[in-house]
Amino acid sequence: DAGITQSPRHKVTETGTPVTLRCHQTENHRYMYWYRQDPGHGLRLIHYSYGVKDTDKGEVSDGYSVSRSKTEDFLLTLESATSSQTSVYFCATRTSGGTNEQFFGPGTRLTVL
């Protein structure tokens, strides 16, 4: 929904390596979010962006950084991946209207060995 794509869709990497996940949207939505989903924890907010170059931390931001250089792209970087960051990562977007409805991308399954 909302023309959201994520890349890569699957990735296997090793502990200590840097990883960047990309979220791309074609809806010109102002707000973008990164969540991770783990069994027993549900979806948890990592970081979000409220405009180009404007980002803030969510509830599980340690070990992650983000960047947003243009409206359509929101990047999530794991500077040095750890096994605890093995998860499914979802990007979401919403408009700047009052509904607060978020629409999710297809997800990226990341495995850190």
Partner 1 sequence: QKEVEQNSGPLSVPEGAIASLNCTYSDRGSQSFFWYRQYSGKSPELIMSIYSNGDKEDGRFTAQLNKASQYVSLLIRDSQPSDSATYLCAVKRSGGGADGLTFGKGTHLIIQP
What is the nearest approach in angstroms of partner 1 to the Cβ of residue 56? 7
User: In whole angstroms, what is the distance from residue 25 CA to residue 56 CA?
Assistant: 19
> Coil, strand, or helix at residue 68?
strand
Min. distance of Cβ 98 from partner 1 in angstroms?
A: 9
Q: Which is nearer to partner 1, 59 or 62 (CB)?
A: 59
**Footprint of partner 1 (CB under 8 A):** 1, 31, 33, 35, 40-45, 48, 50, 56, 58-59, 90, 99-107
CB within 8 A of 37, min separation 6: which ones? Answer: 43, 44, 87, 88, 89, 90, 107
Q: At closest approach, how far in Å is the CB of 27 from partner 1? A: 14
